[in-house]
Amino acid sequence: MTNYDAIDFSSLDAFKDDEVITHSVVRDVRLASGKVLALITLDNGRDHTRPNTLGPATLKELGETLAGLKARAAAGEIHAVGITGKQYILAAGADLSDVARVPDSATALLIGQLGHKVLGSLSDLGVPSFAFVNGLALGGGLEIALNSTYRTVDASAAAIALPEVFLGLIPGWGGAYLLPNLIGIENALEVVISNPLKQNRMLKPQQAFDLGIMDAIFPAATYLESSLAWADSVLSGATKVVRKNEPGKIERLTKWPIAIKMARGMLESKLGTVPKAPYMALDLLSEAKSGTKAEGFEREDAALTELISGDQFAASMYAFDLVQKRAKRPVGAPDRALAKKVTKVGIIGAGLMASQFALLFVRRLQVPVLITDLDQARVDKGVAYIHAEIGKLEEKGRLDGDTANKLRGLIHGTTDKTEYADCDFVIEAVFEEVGVKQQVFGEIEKIIADDAILATNTSSLSVEEIGSKLAHPERLVGFHFFNPVAVMPLIEIVKTPQTNDAALSTAFVVAKNLGKNGVLTADAPGFVVNRLLAKVMGEAARAVYEGTPIDKVEKAFGPLGLPMGPFQLIDLVGWKVAAHVQDTMVRAFPERFYANDNFHALAELDAVVEKDKGGRVTGFTKAAEKVVKGAVANTPADEATILQRVQDGLAQEIKLMLDEGVVPEVEDIDLCLILGAGWPFIDGGASPYLDREGASQRAFGGSFHEPMIRGIANR
């Protein structure tokens, strides 16, 4: 077994100059019983917007602090050790900027080993250790708690999670071994694998307590006082900590391997086999069933080293930086001071998309929201849907009764368009046809104020053409949402040559207030996401009409790492929408995009594809087979050919988009793909992957990134 005390960690000192060090501040607390608890407070000296992180210098200081406290415990000076964080935050995990700069595999191994040495010592102090989780605890922050003897949590803590798999890593400082042995394999699979893959879902404090991760939960107003009193009662024996999933109570022989097998099947069905981190995490959880903690820690060291050294982690860090930094400071967004204050929103339409818009606007902006449609029956149906969705949120405890009633009161439906007169921001959600959109905007423009903003949710039509009949086209912006509206974080904000800065600034501010990330695009066919998805879907359709079985086409696209295959994606988007987008792209770029008249015939069917239990497409329905039968050739392509065609097509299209100025830089395209299409972090969006696969070189004789974004092992 590894002797962490014998390892020389001095080479990690190279990171010290760039690290924001989180210090370990100690004070003795005399408990009511007279016992002394040495309380460590982790604090980087910054406010809550810069969370505590755990870089090498931070870990070394914490290790020295814990070593000193172990000596004091041996001398009988203290009876327990507690560890907590600065206000609102325990720790947000490892300092990823440090991890991303690791020069070689040997250094990567040291980072894992140092974390295990330091955090592991929390269970070897000679006295009990208490983690007081007073706020955000992610990754290494939660592993501090897991390595401690006992854990309490503040009921108002922002989030608790092990998000490593989302970032192409594994919980590498004890989490993959300790968690399943604390809360059982099924719960651990949820926290370590399922939640990160569900758009990085976090636990709320009550959920962490209910799962058994935390031993006690206390309200924010008295959190530390209550935690110290609880610790005192544990030390005195007055409180017996009973855990329903303690090691002796966890069933290992049958339930554990069955849960692992089911999870593996789920991953293969939903993700394919390209992403490494989920499967390595699954293997670690499987092996945690038996063996010692020391063996579990060694396995984590090996897995973490392999992942940190690989291409997928390098791409993930590129993607993480886009989402954490670039998305929050949109390139090309005008000064916020130019934005018009939005006190009332108008939505043209009352169908499903319009109703989803209304629900989002009223929840996030909490201003009056007006919806209209051609007749009162449609309006009433839309309002009823919105009220029902508010009711569901109330039932789930995500809204209290007063807030729910307030939101219902802010929604108003009518057929009287004159009520748009005092709206500051009006968005249409009508049929995807230029003439229809021109007509409704023409009616509304005569009613609204001169400085009110108009927004179109078109997915691929020319925003400039939609606004060409307006008296004031400068007030019109594209404001393209993605489905499902409540979940997908991207809004493509489209600027025409006429759009003024006030309209554009308002759009960006509204997007941010909706909790979305706005990315500026030019008014080009398909904008960013749909243009590239049309390339993916078109190449898939081309292969099918050449005679390739649909399940083989789906499999061919697997190495792209997309969350679903192309036909599964078309089925989600809707065959009518997909047919329309393909037509738009073929009209604009007939030499580069593929469409088939059968798209429209298929779109008229109730069901087009058959799926397995995991949602993967396995073939056409009988009705769809009849539609495509006469159009299919007998020249099937092999999987490698199909994959290379879509890779090269994407590389060519992205390069052309950059040359055309659709977005300022390739980073904006990758950001759109990550936020709007669920393109995986392990690809870095698309461009790092296309560089690595040689598609960029084949398509235009270069690469999108110099040097290419690669892991240590392949640099």
* Tens of pLDDT, residues 477-523: 999 999 889 989 999 999 999 999 999 999 999 999 999 999 999 99
Query: Both tokens of residue 514?
Result: 């909706």
Is the Cα torsion angle 413, 418, 423, 424 positive or negative in sign?
Answer: positive
Q: Where are the alpha helices (DSSP H) in 288-370?
A: 293-308, 311-324, 352-365
What is the distance between the alpha carbons of residues 656 and 677, in angstroms, rounded to a whole number? 20
What is the average pLDDT value for the chain, to the nearest integer? 94
Residue 336 has phi, psi (to 5 degrees) of -60, -25
What is the distance between the alpha carbons of residues 598 and 342, in angstroms, rounded to a whole number? 44
- The residue with greater pLDDT, 199 or 379, is 379
pLDDT at 274: 87
Judged by average pLDDT, the poorest of 31-40, 499-508, 677-686 is: 677-686
pLDDT at 561: 80
* Tens of pLDDT, residues 388-432: 999 999 998 889 999 999 999 999 999 999 999 999 999 999 998
Please say if the pLDDT value at position 225 is more than 90: yes
pLDDT at 247: 62
pLDDT at 580: 84
| Residue at token pair 């999933």 | 245
pLDDT at 484: 85
Please say if the pLDDT value at position 248 is more than 80: no
Find the mean pLDDT for residues 37-42: 98
What is the distance between the alpha carbons of residues 88 and 157, in angstroms, rounded to a whole number? 7
pLDDT at 599: 84
Give the CB-side neighbour count of residue 633, counting CA atoms within 13 A: 9
Find the mean pLDDT for residues 248-269: 88
What is the distance between the alpha carbons of residues 196 and 211, in angstroms, rounded to a whole number? 17
Q: CB of 59 within 8 A of CB of 114?
A: yes
Confidence tier at 612 by pLDDT (50, 70, 90): confident
Please say if the pLDDT value at position 246 is more than 70: no
In Å, how far are 310, 484, 511, 674, 711 from 692, measured between CA atoms?
12, 31, 34, 18, 11
pLDDT at 456: 98
Helical (H) or strand (E) element with 114: helix 105-120
Find the mean pLDDT for residues 196-210: 94
Confidence tier at 143 by pLDDT (50, 70, 90): very high
pLDDT at 250: 79
Instruction: Give, as one character, the DSSP assignment of residue 122.
Output: G
Please say if the pLDDT value at position 200 is more than 80: yes
Residue 217 has phi, psi (to 5 degrees) of -130, 135
pLDDT cut 70: percent of the chain above it: 99
CA–CA–CA angle 200, 147, 78 (5° rounding): 140
- The residue with greater pLDDT, 13 or 224, is 224
pLDDT at 270: 79
Please say if the pLDDT value at position 610 is more than 80: yes
Confidence tier at 249 by pLDDT (50, 70, 90): confident
Judged by average pLDDT, the poorest of 72-81, 218-227, 540-549, 651-660 is: 540-549
Residues 6+ positions from 165 with CB-CB distance below 8 Å: 192, 193, 196, 197, 277, 278, 281
What is the distance between the alpha carbons of residues 411 and 48, in angstroms, rounded to a whole number? 35
pLDDT at 666: 97
Find the mean pLDDT for residues 314-328: 93
The pTM assigned to this predicted structure is 0.90
Find the mean pLDDT for residues 56-61: 96
In Å, how far are 522, 683, 686 from 670, measured between CA atoms?
16, 9, 6
Find the mean pLDDT for residues 277-288: 97
Amino acid letter for position 364:
R
* Tens of pLDDT, residues 436-450: 999 999 999 999 999
Which of 504-514 are b and which e, b meaning 16 or more Cβ less than 10 Å from the residue's Cβ? bbbbbbbbbeb
In Å, how far are 4, 219, 281, 295 from 302, measured between CA atoms?
14, 40, 12, 11
